[in-house]
Structure 1
Amino acid sequence: MPARNPTFILSFDFDGTLVHPESDPVFHPMLGQMIQHLRNQGAAWVINTGRSLPQTLQGLSQYGIFMEPDYIIAMECDIHKPGLFSKWTDFGPWNKQARKAHTRFVKDHQASLNSIREMVENQTQAQFLTGEYGELGIVATTDEEMEVICSFIDTHVRQFPDIGYNRNGIYLRFAHSGYSKGTALSELARLLGLNASHCFAAGDNLNDLSMLHPRHACMIATPGNGLPEVKAHVQSHGGFIATRYASEGMMEALTHYFGGKS
């Protein structure tokens, strides 16, 4: 059960941070015990992921994580809280604002998006995707190909700073730059009467960088399997780099930041 009045936040990316399919176990049960102990001390446990809400819930079940998070930030932006009978609902007005901003973003930057799409389709082997609900994304064939695409997108970002994107390996999703894992975490903290000094955030991939920053979380960490760019970023901001992968690395991180909390 969530703390009635949380005093701090534990925000974890899901894939590669909480779970790692190639590890044994995929999710270490001791991490679950540590999270539960900290919840008893006032923590709100948050999964902050690029997965959709249904995919996140499916992943929890798939990997045998039967604790229900206090909040889920899905699609790198949308804040959800559990309701009665485990039905998840929007928490606050943020999600509605984000959807409006995305619609405006697509309309305002149609010329740039068309240019990017033309580049992807004519100069690469990648795919430019349009989702059922207006999501726009790219799937590249290699990390190197995605690097080239991102360099081209960045030429538009420099002209229009609200053009944002979330990258995870060969996958990329466009978004208004004001709505990310980081800004969603700060909004959740605000709704709970907290701020960055009360937030712990951990992630392993490029789409986690926005929340691994002191403006959103003063306690940041990455597991041993974090990308080199993520490790360098965390180190440059005085964060913690674990030696072990995923959930075992998160046990190291929680011990580092909260080892004396009882």
Structure 2
Amino acid sequence: MLTYKIIACDMDETLLSSDASICRRNIEAIAQAKAQGVKFVPCTGRGFRSVEGVLKTLNLFDEAGQYVIGFNGASITENKGHRSLFWDPIPFDLADRIYRKSASYGLCMHIYTRDTVYISGVTPDEEDFLRGRMAYVPTAEKTLDFLRGKEEVCKLIIMHTDYSRLQEIHAEMKPLLDDITVSFSSNRYIEFMHKGVTKGVALLKLAAMLGVQPEETMAIGDNINDIEMLQAAGLSVGVHNLNPLIRQYCSVVTDATNNDGAVGEAIETFVLK
């Protein structure tokens, strides 16, 4: 059996249970993989600061030689000392144009900077979804002028629970998106990152930094923003509760859902000897 040296793992609806906790099966399997020298790399749409609680639960917090891929691939960070290895924000004026257009829809929006998430128009449903997952700063700003010269923006999000509406918004905004990567996640978000930013590109970049071959990587995910990561990895694993649109990109699908240890099952099957 091929030895996998990096496990790139999505968080929401993959590593995390529906209540944002991590089940014991996942924790134990990750610990055993780490003991064998495997790098367990959360690969998430969130930033490093938003995953510190997860790292503490997994005993990866402030660990040298362990990493997080954040903002769907816009950042790579070594856990020890929060050391930035890669950072690719959206050019500020472009981010501002996209945000202004997004604000015209009157929907909930996220603004991601390196260390802070700002959210405007947060709904009760979105507040419930984010509870236990991510801290944020409310804002009513309709432009990004309040961040100009202070913080770089690496990701913007529009939230709507109707996927067809998100697709309509995507079509309407296409004239602005030549230098932007677009993805969808959690069955509620359309996400905008700088062109070329994907989880898959970041996984291969991290593997190259560590001298790991692409075929020695494993990716675990559940949704559309995981597609490039699944395509890049040597082994692509979908969790049982995956979005059906990504099934074709998965070499295997677990029997377990995110609530019963899908990540643990994948590690037990393909990593632990």
Give the alignment's TM-score, normalised by structure 1.
0.74
Query: Aligned partners of 2:218 and 2:18: how far apart in 1?
Result: 24
User: Does the CA-based 8 Å contact 2:160-2:189 persist in structure 1?
Assistant: no
Change (3 A) 1:48 1:130: closer
Aligned residue identity for 1:73: I
Distance 1:49 1:129, change over 3 A: closer
Q: Distance in 2 between matches of 1:18 and 1:115?
A: 31
Match of 2:52 in 1: 57
Q: For residues 129 and 22 of structure 1, what CA distance do their matches in structure 2 show?
A: 21
Give the structure 2 partner of residue 19 of structure 1. 16
Instruction: Give the C-alpha shift of residue 76 in structure 1.
Output: 1.6
Question: Which secondary structure state, in structure 1, belongs to the residue aligned with residue 12 of structure 2?
Answer: coil
Deviations 1:122-181 (A, max 9, x none): 5x4535665543435242333231121123345665xx3x42123223223321231221
**2-structure distance, mates of 1:57, 1:209:** 25
1:225 maps to which residue? 241
Higher RCO by CA contacts (8 Å cutoff, separation 6 or greater): 2
What's the counterpart of residue 254 of structure 2? 242
User: How far 1:223 moved relative to its partner?
Assistant: 0.9
Aligned pair count reads 226
SS at match of 2:27: helix
Q: Deviations over 1:200-241 (max 9, x none)?
A: 01111222122110xx2111111111111122332xxxx111
Letter in 2 for 1:222: G
Give the structure 2 partner of residue 256 of structure 1. 269
Amino acid at match of 2:84: D
Query: Identity over aligned residues, as a percent?
Result: 21
- Residue of structure 2 aligned with 1:88, choices 59, 76, 82: 82
Cα deviation 1:96-138 (Å, max 9, x = unaligned): xx13xx22xx55x58xx848954x555x453566554343524
- The 1-side partners of 2:211 and 2:241 are apart by 33
Distance 1:232 1:58, change over 3 A: same
2-side partners of 1:12 and 1:130: how far apart?
23
Structure 1 residues 226 and 155, CA, compared in 2 at 3 Å: closer, same or farther? Answer: farther
2:35 & 2:47 partners in 1: Cα distance?
A: 28
Partner amino acid, structure 1, of 2:182: Y
Q: Which residue does 1:164 correspond to in 2?
A: 181
Out of 107, 121, 124, the position equivalent to 1:126 is 107
Q: Does 1:181 align with 2:199?
A: yes
CA distance in 1, matches of 2:266, 2:214: 17
Q: Does 1:79 align with 2:98?
A: no
Work out the CA distance in 2 between the residues paired with 1:53 and 1:173.
17
Superposition RMSD in Å:
2.9
SS of the aligned residue for 2:191 comes to strand
1:43 aligns with 2:61: no
Gaps of at least 5 residues in structure 1 are: 1-5
CA contact 1:7–1:194 (8 Å) conserved in 2: no
The separation in 1 between residues aligned to 2:82 and 2:257, in whole angstroms, is 30
Q: For the structure 1 residues 155 and 193, does the alpha-carbon distance in structure 2 shift closer, same or farther, using more than 3 Å as the test?
A: same
Shift of 1:7: 6.8
2:167 paired with 1:147: yes
Is 1:225–1:245's contact at 8 Å kept on the other side of the alignment? yes
1:10 and 2:29 matched: no
Is this contact kept in 2: 1:189–1:196, CA < 8 A?
Answer: yes
Cα distance in 2 for residues equivalent to 1:219 and 1:152: 36
- Partners of 1:88 and 1:141 in 2: how far apart? 32
TM-score (norm 2): 0.71
